[in-house]
Amino acid sequence: MNGNEKEQQIINNYQNDEKMMILIYAQWCINHELDPISLYMEAYPYQENNNALAEAIELTVTKEESDEISSDMLMNVLQLFGNNDLAFIVQREIEKIEKQEPRNR
């Protein structure tokens, strides 16, 4: 594998990981009956349509079909990818959820 191939492989891996992060976010929102697009737009109001988010939403399943996604895991993934604005909005929602159901995190 030459330098260009390695570089392309790194880029592809990052893009795949980023898609997984977006899917985790979208599914967490669905699991907590939140709209992933409206929360995203609150965090990033000047961004146009996010095709990756739209694609991820298409891949989500119902709350009942989904495995649990912990709020801690979501926050870690968002911060790992530098989505601090979205993490701030999600943290606010987590606090609302915890006030309603303190045992459900």
Question: Which structure tokens are listed for 78?
Answer: 């968002």
pLDDT tens by residue, 11-63: 888 888 999 999 999 999 999 999 999 999 999 999 988 999 999 999 999 99
* Backbone φ and ψ of 83, nearest 5°: -90, 60
Provide CB contacts within 8 A for 85, sequence distance 6+: 43, 44
- Global pTM reads 0.88
Provide CB contacts within 8 A for 88, sequence distance 6+: 43
Mean pLDDT of 55-84: 96
Give the per-residue pLDDT at 104: 47
* Backbone φ and ψ of 25, nearest 5°: -60, -50
